[in-house]
Structure 1
Amino acid sequence: MMNLWLRCITGPKLQRIHRQPDPNRAEPNRTGPGPGLGGVRQLGWPYQPKVLERHTSSILSWASILWSLSYYTSPLLVFYLYRKGYICLSKLVPVGQYTGTLLVLLLGVACLRGIGRWTNPEYVQFITILEETKKNNSPENKKKLASYNFDFRSWPADFRWDEVSSRKGQSPGGVALLKPEPKHRGATDSVLNSVGKLPCQIISYLIANSFGRRMLYPGSVYLLQKAMMPMLNQGQARLVEECGGQRAKLVACDGNDIDTMFVDKRNSQGEKGKKLVICCEGNAGFYEVGCVNTPLEVGYSVLGWNHPGFGGSTGVPFPQNEANAMDVVVQYAIHKLGFEMKDIVIYAWSIGGFTATWAAMSYPEVSALVLDASFDDLLPLALKVMPESWRPLVTRTVRHYMNLNNAEQLCKYQGPVLLIRRTKDEIITTTGPEDIMSNRGNYLLLRLLQFRYPKVMTEEGVRAVREWLGASNAIEEASVYSRYEVDDDWSTSVLQSYQTDQTTEFPWTVGEDMTLEGRRQLALFLARKYMRNFDATHCTPLPPYEFQSPWTL
């Protein structure tokens, strides 16, 4: 009994019970739906702690929030205490004594919470199943444990990056990223240059690891996650109970735990269900309430995951950690869920375009890539929100610590691509949503077309595509298209003829013997095939009818 009490003290917070109750066993009183009747699916119910557990959990939760506030405001707090003369030994000793007393009191509160859990049959049953699963991670025990939503830190690992034989020799430091070309200097010049830039390097490091990373990924801030927790719990309950979602913990090569959710529709949605859409969320998005809903409603099987530091995932969302997380997610889809590369589609919204383009670059056999409201490079967007005088410092910080080079990675992928541009996007425009030409999605399209069809995207072709990109609605688009007299059938036949006679690897030389009119027409045809407009703001959920397979020749 003492051992059970200790497990209740140190056990995770239980949020919800997903499983259908045994009709032969009397259930404890609770609010929410009761047992299912006549085979109707039971939608679960929130865990109801008893009075002692509820009040002690509230105290510990507030203590956690206050600790987070003090952590984020610690530089200002230390500066204030220093100005007031409190940073001295005679003042710090009483503070240490008060802190020790507070910790003892919080420990006592945790013990009382353990007693409250110990007297609750639902929690005792949960903690017993959790301990059994840790000892024997069998499919039967995993299925029982999946009936509970609890603090993900205590969830046993379902898949590790090194379970695949081809990955065992991989460096634990992380997967490969594209790096900027090094500048060649003489030995003496290089040393002097490094010493001279040391202060800037230190400042860049501090910016990236403090407010820079949190500005870029606000979803990783604990207080924001705390505020969103009821919404996240509700979203996860819907995925598990209504969609049959399977939650899993993946361990990446850097040691971070990645929180994932898989909805399998292979047996219910025919050919669409046999396709897996791996979803990459935005900088404040979670799979519980994010872009996974769009392909899910269309009928695809879906695998969602949370960035490092988001939801149940651990770590911080720097580019290397992001790529490591995406790598283990793809490996999990192939080796654990049983999907083939040709049946996997990568779908991303906003900043998720970085991990999506990295996956397409690193796994070129994937079926297709869909990027919604994404951008070509982070630097122009970072410069937009920072003072002009900070330009050199911002450039150095982004390039060294937050180099989200989506366009460069995208050009390494040979497969079908669809770009979705929001015509009222207020986030990835550099001058405002009213200026559609400042949308960085335009530059993503131009970079892709210029790489794949360099002979078509000459000065005349680029000018025609820019004119088409300047159209803010379907009527203006059609006007540009008709003014250049674009013939879709002719454009398709030209490309098919080239594909038959030449290699299918990009870049293509199609267009080198064309007239100026032919290049402009082919450039507009390609732009329209690679990009679709969606008349909405950045954060508007993408409707299911807008999620389409990319064009293939």
Structure 2
Amino acid sequence: MSFLSYMFGPNLYMEYKGVPEPQRKVYESGTVEKFGEHILSTLSVMWSVGYYTSPLIATFLYRRGYFVADSMPTLAKITTSVGLLVIISLVMRGVGRKQSRVYSNMIKALEAARANKTTGGASGELRRFDIDFSSWPVDFDVKSLTGDTKKPAVTASRREPLRFATLPCEVIAYLAINTFGLPMIYPGSVKLLEKFMRPMLISGRAKLVEDDNGIRYKIKTIDSNEIDTLFIDNRGDNVGNGKTLIICSEGNAGFYEVGIMGTPVALKYSVLGWNHPGFAGSSGTPYPHQDKNAIDSVVQFAINHLGFSVEDIIFYGWSIGGFSTLYAASIYPDAKGVVLDATFDDVLYLAVPRMPSQVAGIVKTAIRNYCNLNNAELAEQFNGPISFIRRTEDEIIAEDNHIETNRGNFLVLSVLKHRYPKIFGVPQLARIKGLLSKPLEPYSIPASEEKLSMSRLITYASDEGKSFPMLIGADYSEEVRTNMAVFLFRKHLRDYNSTHCTPLPGEYFTMPWDIPTEQGFVFT
């Protein structure tokens, strides 16, 4: 192993012992390595701050005359000094690491994994270490799949044609989304936030690896991003839930290490978590097209590498993760179901109120052209079971915590109107909006009417199939349609009395409701 391997090798965070938590060993660097790494880390933070404040810094330097010819020697000296400091710091880091037995063992395992182009499966030597994921070998490359027939073909969405009259707005929208816009929508991609959260991510990952037997995998997408995932296999558990795989999609500042995986893991499902492009160990940027390719690759990994069938997969999304979840469901229509927690209908209606009214047109252009997270539109493309969880004290997707403004309400209504257009007429929608304007009360339909509603649905689905839109209800009375509307609404939505970011208790995570079908069943 060359000295360069130590100088430019990945940061080592933890050594797993494969035993309970007290035996975990956080990597403690020596004095020389620690000093060199501290300087490099400080310079990295300064670079990150400088990147996000570059317009202000450039303006300040220009006004001070640093961009004139006379100031160039001064800038050259500063650059040279910083470069020399970086070289000295790298050498110190390399010397310190070479003196560490633990780091040397990690480098040996890493080079062996690279030579074999694999991490060696669940028992690979490299898996004993938690390192910078950018150095981790790829475990699954979606490009290696040929002739994949498990996923139907989909067409890319089309942007509106560019018009000369709107060119200034288009240019400003493009600049806005590619500078501050996307980080505002996906703050988890901001590296400063990641640096702040790194200790929590390392600790959360260690818990999943050691306490829950999690295995970390790197997946390479069709657009060459590398996605950080972690899989917990409970198929050998006698409880039975382990045969179902829950694929978890996190929120805009969420990471699988400290995110929604905990709920299905506690219920003994098999669980696959992943981080959006640009989040933590995942490379790339969370533009919608990259996020779509990421979740597609995660699902193909689950099918082709982990051995799950599509029919045994539940897509579980929280907040903005609902977009990834619904996209996956739209291209894998045979999935077992979808669970959406604190999810909105369309990000445009969240973005516009949070920006000055004078730039509403620019915001709309930026969202529709570059970050069109339209969950209501995607939900119409999935025919399978779907359930919604609404946070009654949600402060993120509701205005001033007013429950009637919760954008999840609009998503539920959109799905129900699409699926049962003959049942959800104007009177029924008014009734459901009234129910949504406050926390849900105990179920109020008489048991006999509930049985009748279920029987009508079973009869229709058995005779006509369960594809949507389902045209049941055209010849029903207003009263019957209203009863059925309330029945269907309560089958799809549950309330959780909490704020947006509170972890979801296990009792709220249930399989999405589906209409049972009985061949030959006739309602009388």
CA contact (8 A) 2:277 2:294 kept: yes
Deviation track 1:195-229 (CA, whole Å, cap 9, x = no partner) reads 22222111111110111101101111111110101
Q: How does 1:374-523 map to 2 (within 5 A)?
A: 374-429=343-398, 431-433=399-401, 435-474=402-441, 478=443, 481=444, 487-523=449-485
* Separation (CA, whole Å) in 2 of partners of 1:94 and 1:269: 70
How far did residue 504 of structure 1 move? 2.0
Distance 1:92 1:518 in 2: 81
What is the alpha-carbon distance in structure 2 between the residues aligned to residue 106 and residue 293 of structure 1? 40
- Written as runs of structure 1 = structure 2, the 5 A alignment for 1:8-19 is 8-19=6-17
Aligned to 1:81: 61
In the alignment, the residues of structure 2 paired with residue 389 and residue 69 of structure 1 have an alpha-carbon distance, to the nearest angstrom, of: 29
Superposed CA RMSD? 1.9
Question: After the TM superposition, which of the residue ranges 456-465 and 226-235 deviates more from structure 2?
Answer: 456-465
- From 241, 250, 253, the counterpart of 2:219: 250
Moved more, 527-536 or 95-104: 95-104
> Which AA in structure 2 matches 1:71?
Y
State which drifts further: 260-269 or 130-139.
Answer: 130-139
Unaligned runs of 5+ in 1: 21-35, 184-192
| Matched AA of 2:126 | L
The Cα shift of 1:10 comes to 1.2
Equivalent residue, structure 1, for 2:146:
165
1:266 to 2:235 alignment? yes
Q: Mark the CA change 1:139 to 1:215 in structure 2 (over 3 Å): closer, same or farther.
A: closer
Choose 339-348 or 466-475, whichever is displaced more.
Answer: 466-475
Query: Per-residue CA shift, 1:475-500, capped at 9, x if unaligned?
Result: 5xx4xx45x99821111011111112
One-letter identity of the residue aligned with 1:52: V
Summarize deviations over 1:164-187 as a string: whole Å, max 9, x none: 11259x9xxx9744446x57xxxx
Mapped to 1, the partners of 2:30 and 2:330 lie a distance apart of 52
Could you tell me whether the CA contact under 8 Å between 1:407 and 1:447 is conserved in 2? Answer: yes
SS in 2 for 1:424: coil
Call closer, same or farther: CA 1:456–1:473 in 2, change over 3 Å.
closer
Using a 3 Å threshold, how does the CA distance of structure 1 residues 371 and 177 change in structure 2: closer, same or farther? farther
Structure 1 counterpart of 2:99, one-letter code? T
Name the residue aligned to 1:32: none
Alpha-carbon distance in structure 2 between the residues aligned to 1:438 and 1:485: 31
CA gap of 1:175–1:75, structure 2 versus 1, over 3 A, is farther
* Number of equivalent positions: 512
1:542 aligns with 2:504: yes
Secondary structure of 1:146's aligned partner: helix
Counterpart residue identity of residue 496, structure 2: F
Scaled by the length of structure 2, the TM-score of the pair is: 0.94
Which runs of structure 2 are paired with 1:316-331 in the superposition (5 Å)?
316-331=285-300
Separation in 1, partners of 2:163, 2:44: 41
Distance in 1 between residues matched to 2:447 and 2:120, nearest whole Å:
63
- Whether contact under 8 Å (1:217, 1:283) holds in the other structure is yes
State the partner residue of 1:114: 94
Within-5 A mapping of 1:89-488:
89-138=69-118, 140=120, 143-166=124-147, 176-179=155-158, 182=160, 194-429=163-398, 431-433=399-401, 435-474=402-441, 478=443, 481=444, 487-488=449-450
User: Deviations along 1:311-366, whole A, 9 cap, x unmatched?
Assistant: 10011101001001001000000000000011100000000000100000010011
Q: For 1:348 and 1:46, how far apart are their aligned partners in 2? A: 32
Match of 2:2 in 1: 4
| d(CA) in 2 for partners of 1:536, 1:207 | 33
Q: Is the 8 A contact 2:118 2:137 kept in 1?
A: no
Shift of 1:269: 4.3
Secondary structure of the residue that 1:288 maps to in structure 2?
A: helix
Q: Which residue of 1 aligns with 2:520?
A: none
For the 8 Å contact 1:175–1:323, the answer to whether it is kept is no
Other structure's SS at 1:474 match:
coil
Distance 1:485 1:275 in 2: 31
Per the TM alignment, residue 474 of structure 1 is displaced from its structure 2 partner at its CA by 2.4
| 1:264 CA drift (Å) | 0.4
1:552 is displaced (CA, Å) by 1.3
C-alpha contact 1:486 1:522 (8 A) present in aligned 2: no
* CA deviation profile, 1:498-551 (whole Å, cap 9, x unmatched): 112213211111000000111111111101001111111101110111100111
2:518 is matched with which residue?
Answer: none
Runs of at least 4 residues off by over 6 Å: none
Deviation for aligned residue 1:105: 1.9
State whether residues 118 and 139 of structure 2, in contact with CA within 8 Å, keep that contact through their aligned partners in structure 1: no
Indicate if the aligned counterparts of 2:250 and 2:275 stay in contact, CA closer than 8 A. Answer: yes
Q: Report the Cα offset of residue 396 of structure 1.
A: 0.5
Q: Which residue of 2 aligns with 1:25?
A: none
Tell me if structure 2 keeps the 8 A contact 1:486–1:525: no
Q: CA deviation at 1:138?
A: 4.8
Q: In the alignment, is the contact (CA less than 8 A) between 1:373 and 1:420 conserved in 2?
A: yes
Whether the 8 Å contact between 1:177 and 1:320 is mirrored in structure 2 is: no
Do the aligned partners of residues 175 and 325 (structure 1) sit closer, same or farther apart at CA in structure 2, a change above 3 Å counting? farther
Determine the C-alpha separation between the residues in 1 that align with 2:459 and 2:275: 44
Identity of aligned residues (%): 41
- Give per-residue Cα distances to partners, 1:112-150, cap 9 Å, x unaligned: 110111111111111011011101135647711011000
Contact 2:35 2:92 survives alignment (8 Å): no
- How far apart, in 2, do the equivalents of 1:510 and 1:522 lie? 10
Whole-angstrom distance in 2 between the partners of 1:533 and 1:428: 15
Mapped contact 1:269–1:299 kept (Cα < 8 A)? no
TM-score, normalization by structure 1: 0.89
- Runs of 5+ unmatched residues, structure 2: 516-524
One-letter code aligned to 1:234: S
Q: Residue 521 of structure 2 corresponds to which residue in structure 1?
A: none
Contact kept in structure 1, 2:15 and 2:130, CA below 8 Å: yes
Q: What residue in structure 2 maps to residue 187 of structure 1?
A: none
Kept in 2, the 8 Å contact 1:19–1:148? The answer is no
